[in-house]
Structure 1
């Protein structure tokens, strides 16, 4: 019994894994059109059918035929109209758009029936069945809106239900046997299987909204309803018929990107280089919307400065976005968005795993203006044959310049494990050179891993060095021996200050010899001045000799004392308040 269960499991697993790789039976025929078309007696009906726009299909015969038992009788085809339908049936092909249109006028009761639209030979080529019904009077059921969507591309639909639905719940659901399965709604409720790849956005017109879904797969084929209110209960709704087909020329982008903590991740986005007006945006998906990180106009979210850059590759119609300095919180879904060509919008999931980055080096470098600085990063042997580059990051990109390799590969060269470094030299470095620099590898035009380095440039002399402390210490200590930061420990300061005691004593004696005669001279002048004032005092009582003499002594001798204090080896003049101050 156990062996039978095991065999059943083996048989089931391949089928389950292939579920998304192969089209379901219902979608194996790539021609697509409406399931049912309604018309009014005496009126007209229009049928639009889609086909893969390959060169063969574009030039092949298109037809509209009526099912009659096992046969399908041609009503109209490329260059042909059945006699009984002349002047009321026409077929118009639009090969550049990959569809053709059938118009039927003067509808009668006999036009009700089963038809096929197709490419090639009736019954042998590619076809799609359509049921046509003719009613006597309106109203007729509203036809479903058709969407012919490429596999792995993006589908966008706009729905509008009027200003009276502004306060109602907006939604998109998929029709299933048990009802309509909610995909996304304006209450930020999203089906688990669609998280990260669907967005509901309100539009400017009141009551209007759009839904964008990326990574369209075979299972996404089916009937959907967008609406306001509750499906099947109240409000308004619109039927959407979505068909997935495979275009082998459509680029298949990665849906999952993996990066290591501290390293970088590279994302590819599609864009049409001929659309110069197109705005390209890269954002992080959230339930409430998509948080813009960078675009091609020079915008970079402030928390991502130095971390993210956008590179346009017109030759292969892609935009490369690189995010470095990865952290665990960077995990999530990222979207490439554009204001044109909605099908080229895409999404990818980022997973950040633990591990050592391939590119390593000093992440923060400080230099003094006018000096030389070398920015370097080491790479492993797996990148030996890659092109190495450095670039200076800015808001519009990171202009690439080839790196100087200490051991460039040559003919027959092998990886030298002792010299695998790419260097960017700046000499002399200026204040304008300050900023973020990236070291990276690429091959065949495709960008690989990157490492970010932040360069800080100090102007002139280093502001962190104290002039008083730099002159203190053993004369045998060279200027290059100053510890980074320009400061010593307390022990070093005391050791350097001890020899100054004899010089202080000598300075004090010299000062005394100078001030002695000066004080005598001042005393003589003051005595003479006092005698004159005394004689004046006898004639007037307006001036106080005592207070005047006191002011003179305070100003003269206070300045002398301050001068003596400023010569202290510890330079505390700026920290002391002179006697008599506030």
Structure 2
């Protein structure tokens, strides 16, 4: 019952999954491969090619060709032996670099027809392949199938040509199965769903020729194929292809699927051998008929992919890494690594773009003006803390690493603040030639990880534009103390787009301002003081009667006059010369005026003296004079004048 359930489970699994887990027994026990049948003509010759895994043991081990008779296999030729009956008409040559050895038989006789084995090591030990040799008395003889010895997970390529007259006909590749020949791919852009992204048909020269490439070869891909024109079985214009898949444990296995988040990046690996300088390296996006080239090692980058894709060679492990940035949903599909050499190392990878937030974040488009300071920032999550971070400048041939500052934590810690997980690339100042694409990325042990592409656009300052309100605001900041009047400003302080004035104009305008400003203030102050003095003098003159000058005079009036004189003297001391004649000032102070008011005024002598002084002052006022134009009035007592 358990066995039945297990068999039902296997039957329910996809055929490909079962074959992947359980490869054919023959593929494990008999890695030697050769033709199924060889056709010869009487008196002619045949060449039998047998393949074997090029391991160090197999390279130096014995190769043989034997004829099967019952349960035993009699050696006819080997690396060190030739059957006397075949002396002079049979030979064996080993070609380890081509992973095969060849048996050449000439002067064929009808008795040579039979079943043979080609193998490595000891006869009948498993490392052998069975070949049926047929000998016809006269031509023609059937064309033998073309053999292909393909490594597991590698690429198989076949070229077929049927003449110029077939250039307009349908071309196809099909696989022989019990019910017929299963269409794999054809020139009418039809492909079997199981081979989507894996098989590619391209046209070649001369007209009528085409090539089929199939990647990710697996155990189930071994078998008989036919390439031809028209429809299979309806004409003879087809070619038999015998494909054998074997496992080479030294052959690297690449990822068949890569998943990337929308807006993030994806990394692909190609098995190119960088030691072969003549080899072209091409990375393209698969189409049913043809492959759209995106980038190659000669500096070509397809329009629309500038700044998004880069190719990096890794001589250490003989691979090339391709990084595609700023992923979008339309980027989904199959991508191929192709080369004009080592075609078995061509590979394909399916890219799937899923929703999600990229791990590396920052502004992906930065606009700046030449001469300003610009920082390109790249923030990374805590899981990338131990990885190497870098900034590089992208170009068609790679990405040159630039010095950058990592604002990461000083050492392992339990906290991981967002502000410290940033890699900064600074330009101080940024120049016009700095414009371009820059990549921020992480890597570990030289293996490239996620990247983020940033486009930096640098424009020149608008030097011909008129002053805008924004620029006037900057100029007004000088008045508020942002910069000294008449001082110069550094280029970093000048607003973008502003036209700086010349230094001579600055000095001239500042000098005029220093002279005219205080002068205008002093003139205004002098005019104001003069008006006040005139007003008070006119007011006092209204109190004096020329005809009877004693009528309205009293001792208190004298005291007011003395007080007024003292006040005017104090004001005159504070005046400042403004060119030309100077104001004449007195040395009397307010304290002397106070002492005068304290003096005795009861004596007649003091009264007369005071009255005389008043008359002199009144006469001066009546004549339109001022205190500043006449002698200074001294109302101090006689003892003070001594």
Whole-angstrom distance in 1 between the partners of 2:81 and 2:108: 20
Whole-angstrom distance in 2 between the partners of 1:468 and 1:446: 52
Counterpart contact for 1:372–1:428, Cα < 8 Å: yes
Alignment partner, residue 239 of structure 1: 240
Alignment partner, residue 369 of structure 1: 370
Counterpart contact for 1:147–1:240, Cα < 8 Å: yes
Whole-angstrom distance in 1 between the partners of 2:285 and 2:8: 38
**Matching of residue 417 in structure 1 with residue 380 in structure 2:** no
Counterpart contact for 2:155–2:347, Cα < 8 Å: yes
Counterpart contact for 1:368–1:461, Cα < 8 Å: no
**Matching of residue 83 in structure 1 with residue 84 in structure 2:** yes
Shift of 1:8: 4.9
Deviation readout 1:274-301 (Å, 9 max, x if unpaired): 2112111111111231111111111111
Structure 2 unaligned spans of 5+? 483-491, 499-642
Shift of 1:485: 11
Aligned ranges 1:152-191 → 2 under 5 Å: 152-191=153-192
Whole-angstrom distance in 1 between the partners of 2:9 and 2:171: 43
Aligned to 1:268, what secondary structure does the other structure show?
strand
Counterpart contact for 2:461–2:496, Cα < 8 Å: no
Counterpart contact for 1:368–1:460, Cα < 8 Å: yes
Aligned ranges 1:418-433 → 2 under 5 Å: 418=418, 419-433=420-434
Shift of 1:235: 5.0
Counterpart contact for 1:200–1:210, Cα < 8 Å: yes
Shift of 1:178: 0.9
**Matching of residue 379 in structure 1 with residue 380 in structure 2:** yes
Whole-angstrom distance in 2 between the partners of 1:415 and 1:282: 42
Shift of 1:84: 1.4
Alignment partner, residue 133 of structure 1: 134
Alignment partner, residue 97 of structure 1: 98
Counterpart contact for 1:385–1:409, Cα < 8 Å: no
Aligned to 1:230, what secondary structure does the other structure show?
coil
Whole-angstrom distance in 2 between the partners of 1:468 and 1:404: 37
TM-score (norm 2): 0.71
Counterpart contact for 1:388–1:402, Cα < 8 Å: no
Alignment partner, residue 566 of structure 2: none
Alignment partner, residue 259 of structure 1: 260
Whole-angstrom distance in 2 between the partners of 1:305 and 1:130: 55
Alignment partner, residue 468 of structure 2: 468
Alignment partner, residue 499 of structure 1: none
Shift of 1:366: 1.9
Aligned to 2:275, what secondary structure does the other structure show?
coil
Whole-angstrom distance in 1 between the partners of 2:260 and 2:463: 38
Counterpart contact for 2:280–2:340, Cα < 8 Å: yes
Larger Rg: 1 or 2? 2
Shift of 1:456: 1.4
Shift of 1:430: 0.3
Counterpart contact for 1:229–1:235, Cα < 8 Å: no
Alignment partner, residue 63 of structure 1: 64
Counterpart contact for 2:336–2:347, Cα < 8 Å: yes
Alignment partner, residue 316 of structure 1: 317
Alignment partner, residue 357 of structure 1: 358
Structure 1 unaligned spans of 5+? 487-582
Whole-angstrom distance in 2 between the partners of 1:26 and 1:178: 23
Whole-angstrom distance in 2 between the partners of 1:135 and 1:176: 28
Deviation readout 1:49-108 (Å, 9 max, x if unpaired): 000000000000000001111111111111101121111111111112211000111111
Aligned to 1:315, what secondary structure does the other structure show?
coil
- Is the alpha carbon distance of 1:129 and 1:462 closer, same or farther for their aligned partners in structure 2, counting shifts above 3 Å? farther
Deviation readout 1:138-162 (Å, 9 max, x if unpaired): 0000010000011111111111111
Counterpart contact for 2:462–2:496, Cα < 8 Å: no
Counterpart contact for 1:117–1:130, Cα < 8 Å: yes
Whole-angstrom distance in 1 between the partners of 2:345 and 2:169: 31
- Is the alpha carbon distance of 1:15 and 1:67 closer, same or farther for their aligned partners in structure 2, counting shifts above 3 Å? farther
Whole-angstrom distance in 2 between the partners of 1:309 and 1:336: 13
Deviation readout 1:470-498 (Å, 9 max, x if unpaired): 35569569999999999xxxxxxxxxxxx
- Larger strand proportion, structure 1 or 2? 1
Counterpart contact for 2:461–2:497, Cα < 8 Å: no
Aligned to 2:238, what secondary structure does the other structure show?
strand
Alignment partner, residue 574 of structure 1: none
Number of matched pairs: 483
- Is the alpha carbon distance of 1:483 and 1:332 closer, same or farther for their aligned partners in structure 2, counting shifts above 3 Å? farther
Alignment partner, residue 19 of structure 1: 19
Shift of 1:124: 1.2
Shift of 1:15: 9.3
Whole-angstrom distance in 2 between the partners of 1:214 and 1:415: 47
Whole-angstrom distance in 2 between the partners of 1:290 and 1:33: 33
Shift of 1:128: 0.2
Alignment partner, residue 115 of structure 1: 116
Deviation readout 1:104-135 (Å, 9 max, x if unpaired): 11111111111000000001140000001111
Shift of 1:13: 6.3
Q: Please provide the CA RMSD for this pair.
A: 2.6
Alignment partner, residue 450 of structure 1: 451
Deviation readout 1:329-367 (Å, 9 max, x if unpaired): 110000111111111111000000111111011112122
- Is the alpha carbon distance of 1:8 and 1:179 closer, same or farther for their aligned partners in structure 2, counting shifts above 3 Å? closer
Aligned to 2:399, what secondary structure does the other structure show?
coil
- Is the alpha carbon distance of 1:213 and 1:402 closer, same or farther for their aligned partners in structure 2, counting shifts above 3 Å? farther
Alignment partner, residue 529 of structure 1: none
